[in-house]
Amino acid sequence: MPALVLLGAQWGDEGKGKATDLLGGSVDYVVRYQGGNNAGHTVVVGDQKYALHLLPSGILSPGCTPVIGNGVVVDPAVLLSELSGLADRGVDTSKLLISGNAHLITPYHTTLDKVSERFLGKRKIGTTGRGIGPAYADKINRVGIRVQDLFDESILRQKVEAALDNKNQVLAKLYNRRAIAVDQVVEELLGYADPLSGYVADTTLLLNNAIDQGRVVLFEGGQGTLLDVDHGTYPFVTSSNPTAGGACTGTGVGPTKISRVIGILKAYTTRVGAGPFPTELLDEDGEKLRTIGGERGVTTGRDRRCGWFDAVIARYATRVNGLTDFFLTKLDVLTGWERIPVCVAYEIDGKRVEELPYSQTDFHHAKPIYETLPGWSEDITQAKSFDELPKNAQKYVQALEEMSGAPISAIGVGPGRDETIQINSFL
């Protein structure tokens, strides 16, 4: 039975929230498997706009159970405020389930994220400042605090002591900051135990049972392929695995159970934060994409860097995720350009390169080789089928599909649920 992964094929902000919400009505579970509230997923339902950070986008579909998997890092203060914000808008949040094995983001992680970025100076990553990197570092270092620890005060205290032993030295001696008191952290964390207790579950058991019983499960990625700590543009990446394998480790569902992997792909490219970006446009076209596409961060409000579509990246996403489909988003944003350049390969040190180079130095030197496709000027936001698109828009989509290595099964022509052209069903 279908278990689908839906993930970002570029540097995040491809429109994962919209795509997840679109499928939300037909799936039983929507599961976040990595990342945390560094994500900002926008969902537009009628005249209502929601910005979700930690909660799976399925929370807006009444029949769907939203799940926060073990691979996510959870800032409990953010979680509770997001839940109450949605409840105030009449959204039923009672079905949410949270893995007891998910790690917590505590105030010292957020502090460390911010001070370490400041310390890096011009070498900074441009993180979202939400404590993501430090929380994952503690997880890997085996000094993390998990959701289940909230329910055992003595274990919680021991773990906070162990974590702060080292961090207080770093904060005081390296960053010249005040030490953080164990009692203060323990007290704050204990305050989250009651409000969260009703949501905590053995989500691995539950999801495997659900799949065995023929329920449809959708894994919703945060960030994107090129932000993956293993497969992205390291060190300018996030600290988790948004790529397809992360859905398995981040939920405890084995790869044999996954039937489909859908890459969300913007019809052009954006990136937030520092790091290489071969097709970046620092000219009027870049500004135009930013304005028409509304390319401003949902989480940090930063302007997104904008550039033309990069087929080398799309092919790479197909490869490292084993993509079965693409969902092409924001095609409508390209309406009005007479000609649209698309990067088909890179030139690196005078040589043409078709695949993403594994060497960071090579990628930094990559210059885009463009093919230019004819544009269209007709409004496409009302198109309901591929045939209703102007011929040049059809050709643009077909060209991207040929270059990217997987079928384009849906096309976004606007932010709303119904502003989508479905070509192949995902279920």
Give the residues lining the site for ligand IMO (CB under 6 A): 8, 11-13, 38-41, 125-128, 130, 132-133, 222-224, 227, 238-239, 272-273
Burial of 370 (0-12, 13-18, 19+ CB in 10 A): middle
Which residues on adjacent β-strands are paired with residue 262?
A: 6, 325
Residue 40 beta carbon to Mg ion: minimum distance, rounded to whole angstroms: 4
Match 């399925």 to its residue by tokens. Answer: 58
CA distance 337 to 343: 16
If one asks whether residue 144 binds Mg ion (CB under 5 A), the answer comes out as no
Toward ligand IMO, which CB reaches closer, 137 or 292? 137
**Residue from 5, 9, 27, 41 binding ligand GDP (CB under 6 A):** 41
**Choosing among Mg ion, ligand IMO, ligand GDP, none, which partner's interface includes residue 332 (Cβ < 5 to 8 Å by kind)?**
ligand GDP
Structural contact between residues 295 and 385, judged by C-beta atoms closer than 8 angstroms: no
Residue 383's binding partner out of ligand GDP, Mg ion, ligand IMO, none, with CB under 5 to 8 Å set by partner kind: none
Neighbour tally for 121: CB within 10 Å: 7
Q: How far is the CB of 42 from ligand GDP (least distance, A)?
A: 3
| Residue 254: partners with Cβ closer than 8 Å, 6 or more residues away | 248
24 contact choice in ligand GDP, Mg ion, ligand IMO, none (CB below 5 to 8 Å, kind-dependent): none
Using the contact rule CB under 6 A, the part of the chain among 308-316, 327-335, 371-379, 391-399 near ligand GDP is 327-335
Min dist. Cβ of residue 206 to ligand GDP (A): 25
Stretch that binds ligand GDP, among 41-49, 75-83, 132-140, 334-342 (CB under 6 A): 41-49
Q: Compute the least distance from the CB of residue 53 to ligand IMO, in Å.
A: 8
Report cis status (omega within 30 of 0) of the bond before 235. Answer: yes
Site membership for Mg ion, residue 40 (CB under 5 A): yes
Nearer to ligand GDP, 15 or 131 (CB): 15
Q: Is 205 exposed, middle or buried (0-12, 13-18, 19+ CB in 10 A)?
A: exposed
Question: What's the Cα-to-Cα distance from 30 to each of 18, 59, 64, 341, rounded to whole Å?
Answer: 13, 8, 7, 36
From the number of C-beta atoms within 10 Å of its C-beta (0-12, 13-18, 19+), residue 355 rates as exposed
Which residue's C-beta sits nearest to ligand GDP? 412
Report the nearest approach of Mg ion to the CB of residue 12 (Å): 6
242 binds ligand GDP (CB under 6 A): no
- Least distance from ligand GDP to the Cβ atom of residue 220, Å: 9
- Rounded to an integer, what distance in angstroms lies between the CA atom of residue 33 and that of residue 5? 10
**What would the x/- binding string for Mg ion be over residues 369 to 388, using CB under 5 A?**
--------------------
Give 282: exposed, middle or buried? Use CB within 10 Å, 0-12, 13-18, 19+: exposed
Residues catalogued as catalytic: 13, 41, 139
15 binds, among ligand IMO, ligand GDP, Mg ion, none (CB under 5 to 8 A by kind): ligand GDP
Assigned token pair, 13: 């902000």
CA gap 169, 87 in Å, rounded: 41
Binding residues, as ranges, are: 12-18, 38-42, 128, 142, 223, 238, 298-304, 330-332, 412-414
Kindly list the residues in this chain that would bind ligand GDP in the complex (CB under 6 A).
8, 12-18, 40-42, 44, 294, 298, 329-330, 332-333, 412-415
